[in-house]
Amino acid sequence: MKTPQHKVALITGASRGLGLSLARSLAKAGWHLIIDARSNDALENVRKELAQHTTVLAIAGDVGDAGHRQELAEAAAYLGKLDAVINNAGILGPSPLPNLLDYPLDQLTIVFQLNTLAPLAVLQTLQPYLQKNSVIINISSDAAMEAYPGWGGYGASKAALEHLSAVLAVENSHWRVYHVDPGDMRTQMHQDAFPGEDISDRPLPEASVPGLLTLLNGELASGRYRAKDLTPATVTTDHLLQK
């Protein structure tokens, strides 16, 4: 099924939170989508919703699994190309968040495998289908830049992802490669980071989507951005690019 007239995006972790919010926006804009998540039931519900607007291939699985990544590649082959990959899937790690000196190293290894290595593995597997001007968005966090107690494991994995993204951009100048801090959001992951606390004051994930759309639809240089700073009317690379 070749769809050259449509843009095609892969969104990982699309069954809830930011991934779901972005998938909804792209579906309504006519993008064809490949979406994944670990929960088959939740992903199927999303597929049924989005299929009212566009072509959606939903593949349940873990991005840390090579077999699942190959299934994503087969979906990209079916649609004929990829114009964008949004590496949104990830894990927080243990909850409550442990200090680094108490962090179980076996669990920290898993955090790095899923938050840092898996996004690279996705791109390695899918690179034959990426177009010359494809957009790569690796979802990061302010914890990659700031030292918050308890956030050392998650933050370090995202800091590594950010450096990986920066090197990918240098090595692949024909792509636009972004590492994006979406800001605080009212998501399950954020609730897990603060068990028992009221996080109703955090914005819903939908608030971060316009910034991602600006990157997908614009021509900003590769680099680090904060979603809240990105709007179609005000964005400039000199103002927003974070060194």
| Calpha distance 93→108 (Å, rounded) | 7
Task: Please report the DSSP string for 126-180 in residue order.
Answer: HGGGEEEEEEEEEE--GGGTS--TT-HHHHHHHHHHHHHHHHHHHH-TTSEEEEE
Neighbours of 95 (CB within 10 A): 13
**Residue of 103, 129, 154, 225 marked active site:** 154
| Calpha distance 99→97 (Å, rounded) | 7
Catalytic residue list contains 154: yes
| Calpha distance 45→51 (Å, rounded) | 10
Tokens representing 153? 């494991």
The residue type at 123: L
Residue 25: C-alpha distances to residues 21, 33, 50 (Å): 7, 11, 10
Look at strands 32-37 and 8-11 and give their pairing. parallel
Q: Tell me which residues are annotated as active site.
A: 154
